[in-house]
Amino acid sequence: MSDPTPINAPIGTRDILPGESEHFATLVATFATWAQRYGFGLALTPLFEDVGVFNRGIGEDSDVARKEMYVFEDRGGRTYALRPEGTASIVRAFVQHHPTTPWKVWYITPAFRYERPQAGRYRQHHQLGVEALGTDDPYLDVEVIALAWRFYEHLGLRQVRLHINSMGHAECRAMYLTQLSAHLSEHSGSLCDEHRDGWSRNPLRVLDCKKEPCVAVTDAGPMLVDFLCEDCREHFATVTSGLDTIGIPWLANPRLVRGFDYYTRTTFEFVAEALGSAQNAVGGGGRYDKLAEQLGGEPTSGIGFGSGIERLLLALEAEKVVLTSKGLDAFVVDTTGGAVALELVERLRAAGLSVDRSYDQRSMKSQMKRADRSGAAVALLVGPSERESGTVTIRDLRNSDVADRQQSVTLADVVASVQDYTNKAK
């Protein structure tokens, strides 16, 4: 006999079901609208890739590649990884298909990271994001940041702060890394347990460390902004003054280096202050002007961001923003066997209304209970007398105290009458 014990979803993952999934769907639909407004088209790439896409893309020494990736061998002996983030896959697709530039795409994707689960940090989360390849025009940086900002604004978030920094390009960063390494080497004894011996593997990661000893050592050390070349400084100044021009407030954060090795020049993060200090980034991104080359393509600049849907939902809750999503328009209660309901729901749905019904020929009382629970605006009642006279009784389910709560209409008029109700309710 097979084992009858129920099996739950894996640790650090969540089922997103009706009741919550409406909010999820609203976020995706809103993002799709904004991404289209900014000229981005939808891109869908496989959830798993050759592990090299991520090792080369996000950097073999990044925490995500070293400790968090779900890597597996398929039955043909190839080594794949589940996508831990969206950017490397999109750039892999760009290199493979040579689209004309600028190439601007948006995506919605699950991302998989073997992290220590906690509120706002999951082993499977979902990201909405964009990537734009083919130009290093700083006004593109402004537009990409603006898209995220307007999206958050439209959702109703008011306590999101934009932190921004420049990582410089390879040469500025090489100079900086020499100085940073000298500083860390001198003070390595004062770093946190993880970085005391491991800092030299990737010194920039120490800037990312939130532990107090690392913050103290790096605060007293050199900062990347002071090593930017003239071009990088000018690029950054154009981005920040562009943000000023279109009224997007920003905060310079010289410690912001982000977790992946592909970043160059502009990097940014959106911090939801309503979420407190842990897991409060609702989005982040930046330029990656060397990534296409790292993945075997022609030198091509790029920039993008990803925004965590679960974190956005937490931030909306923390700011007490209620996302409205349209519920059912009508619920059909047919106590004559269900055949009238079959035709009725089809007709109403064809007219663009959202309609549900009950099944299994239940009693009037039980069907009405379902109608009430469904959240529909009206119930459409079909009993023996209605069937006889070719009518339907419409009952208002949301305003129980109105005098004309219930009205009888002919089957021919039912679509128009329900539309009247739902228009009035808007």
Query: Of the two residues 141 and 386, which places its CB atom closer to ligand HAM in the complex?
Result: 141
Tell me the residue nearest to ligand HAM as measured from the CB.
Answer: 308
Q: Residue 285 Cβ, how far from ligand HAM at the closest point, in Å?
A: 4
Collapse the DSSP code of 48 into the 3-class scheme (helix H, G, I; strand E, B; otherwise coil) and give the result. Answer: strand
User: Does the bond joining 102 to the residue before it have cis omega, within 30 degrees of 0?
Assistant: yes
Name which of 163 and 357 has its Cβ closer to ligand HAM. Answer: 163
- The residue (of 132 and 418) whose beta carbon lies closer to ligand HAM is 132
* Least distance in angstroms from the C-beta of 130 to ligand HAM: 7
Smallest Cα–Cα separation from 267: which of 241, 303, 242? 303
Q: How far is the CB of 211 from ligand HAM (least distance, A)?
A: 19
Q: Mind giving me the DSSP string for 69-123?
A: --EEE-TTS-EEEE-SSSHHHHHHHHHHH---SSEEEEEEEEEE-----BTTB-S
Least CB distance to ligand HAM at residue 250 (A): 16
Nearest to ligand HAM of 163, 187 (CB atom)? 163
| Smallest separation (angstroms) from ligand HAM to the CB of 149 | 14
From 245, 58, 42, 230, select the one nearest 143 (Cα to Cα): 245
Contact (Cβ atoms closer than 8 angstroms) between residue 293 and residue 299: yes
Q: State the DSSP H helix or E strand holding residue 184, giving kind and residue range, or none if neither.
A: helix 170-187
| Other Cβ atoms within 10 Å of 105 Cβ, number | 22
38 within 8 A of 142, measured Cβ to Cβ: no
Please tell me the distance from the alpha carbon of residue 402 to that of residue 406, in angstroms, as a whole number. Answer: 9
Q: Which lies closer to ligand HAM via its Cβ, residue 141 or residue 310?
A: 310
As measured in angstroms, the least distance from the Cβ of 84 to ligand HAM is: 8
* Beta strand pairing call for 391-396 and 406-410: antiparallel
CA distances from 200 to 167, 204, 407 (A): 18, 9, 77
For the bound state, the minimum distance from the C-beta of residue 113 to ligand HAM, rounded and expressed in Å, comes to 5
How far from 9 is each of 2, 20, 48, 75, CA to CA, in Å? 19, 17, 20, 24
Output 87 or 374, the one with its CB closest to ligand HAM. Answer: 87
For ligand HAM, give the closer residue by CB, 287 or 357. Answer: 287
Report the C-alpha gap between 23 and 380 in whole angstroms.
27
Q: Pull the structure tokens for residue 307.
A: 């925004």
Residue 289 or residue 334: which is nearer to ligand HAM going by CB? Answer: 289
Q: Which residues bind ligand HAM (CB under 6 A)?
A: 85-87, 113, 115, 120-122, 125, 127, 129, 131, 259, 281-286, 304-308, 310-311
Instruction: Give the nearest distance from C-beta 22 to ligand HAM in angstroms.
Output: 20
